[in-house]
Structure 1
Amino acid sequence: MNISAKITGIKYNVNCTDDLTEVSFKDFNINSASSCFLLSDKQYNYGISKWVSPKRTRSYPFERVYNSLNVPKRITVIPIIKDEGSKGDRDFIQWDTVSLMSLLDVYVILAYYNNAVIHPSRENKITDQEFDNNYVKNKILEISNYHSSALHWNLKEINDTLPSLIDIVQETYNRLEKELKVSFHNSRGIQSFKSQFQKGVADFMATSRNKAKEAQNREKQTLQPKEFLSTSTKATITIENYLGGKYYFTTDEISIVDKNLFLIEGKHSSNSKLPSIGDIKDGLLKMVLYCNLTDVKIDDTDFTPKPVLKLTSTNISGKISNQSSTSEIEEFKSSAGFNVNNVEIIDRLFAEATANNFEVIIEGV
């Protein structure tokens, strides 16, 4: 089943973000900083998150981006290419990642690694890759003097900065190959990536979207270990925004009741009473998108979207949601034996769901 939808803007109230550690610009180093933090200077405060890979499905970066959403100006630092050596992975940034950040009004710093060490146990693999900190700091200073939207910044960086950065990445991995005596993936892959820009952003967008759509179709056939579904029904959902960006997602589960289409994002734990907070926030970023869908259709038939975040565990029994009565919620929390931290997560999560008109279900399976 293929679902299509549009997003014209984002309105959402976050409630489950972390208290961010404050770092002064003077002492700032992107490599030693936490995954999400508050960067402060006399003139500005930025919520900054960083990715450990340009591939958004490899390391759950959405949790980090989510944690920055309560800061008015947000920046995320993404490596454009990450090559772990010929015995490791090599990933490239995709247009849809940048477009999604633009949709969330997040400024993207397209960055690169300039240092690494040999992997302690695997031949021809490196680890502990470090960003060029001076480059990242200079980009933050540029943003502090940039007075247009994140969308305009991100498009400018894709057009003007990314092609030359690709050359720097190639030079850096050539240097590391000699210094560390390791082999990397064939350089033709990086050159092919660069050639997309010779035809402009439009070609880059098309190539990236094709890869995203292929990944979407693969995911549609796959049950992830952190999902536990009451049915095996998955559906592809293609979201288009006013930028021309298309996002290819796979819903974990769907349900159709009359003209209501329930879009269910599932997170499961077999070891704890709740999924990890990282998994929950990964799901919440999907809720940010699903809560802002318009013009939702299946085969030209209109539906009203009903986003649902479904948290399941083999260590509890029963079922509750934020739409249950207060007495039912309190009884469920007591009978499940949730600890103080679990209760705080549930209370904040239910408050966020109610404020944004989506449903959170917690269920034992």
Structure 2
Amino acid sequence: MGVLIDGKWSDQWYDTKKTGGAFQRDTSRFRNWITADGSAGPTGEGGFKAEAGRYHLYVSYACPWAHRALIFRALKGLDDLIDVSAVHPDMLDDGWSFATDFPGATGDRLFGSSHIRDIYIRADPKVSGRATVPVLWDKAQGKIVSNESSEIIRMLNTAFNDLTGNTDDYYPADLRLEIDTVNARIYDTLNNGVYKSGFASTQAAYEDAVYPLFDTLDWLEERLSRQTYLAGDRLTEADWRLFTTLVRFDLVYHTHFKCNRARIVDYPNLWAYTRALYQHPGVAQTVQFDHIVRHYHYSHETINPHRIVPINPNPDFSAPHGRGTA
């Protein structure tokens, strides 16, 4: 995966030499918000009013960050209001590609671009940074609204309620402190922790990431032994942010990223919880296991230089889970 420097593509992997072997994720560059009336959100500028057909979502089915946005699009009934382009699972020297020779890879349905970086350059010809997904595009202004997944899901949670009539709230005011606290630990040690483990280039950096990762899985297993969801008896944003890591864990992170002390299927509560979320209406259709397995093993040449894609176990995400429902 390369990087854009003043609008020019440079084939550069993450430089872990500067950080003692540790992986550090880049910050998102575009931080505007869609709101019901177009007023400015917590960051960025205003002018992005919730309107049917105005916005386009660029995703990878392989990427857990983009997967969050796809899930919220489904949960909030936005499939007919926000259309989608999905990249090819192979992310090679030129970054995310719009090639269509893989099932589910749609190409760029808006502009016919060849790579996701072209969308960034279209928004800002002098842009610098990683060309990541998801990208939420405003057709009316020809701008990127946001490429920060945690903020995109909060927009989708509320901005379009008046258009859809769907008022389900996954970030309710009375649970926000607890959701934010849980999110912070899960993001640092698990959502991003799998990457810090997998992309580490020294033993010390790997161990600094992988031990906290399993401490968090143990903590989650205990927490879910006494409540249905992370914030109690209500399904919230925290659950969906966790789910996109859990659903990839045994097929990818366990082996490919060396997070192999245990699998999710070895945790009775976590495994049942993962199945319950997978079976929630609208969610299974957002999970494309072929994209997930292919992307990680084929794209990360520094980890898997021969690009051998493993045959993998076949966990049954549709098996009865025995947990409560939202």
TM-score past 0.5 threshold: no
Q: TM-score, normalised by structure 2?
A: 0.29
- Larger % of strand: which? 1
Larger radius of gyration: 1
Q: TM-score, normalised by structure 1?
A: 0.27
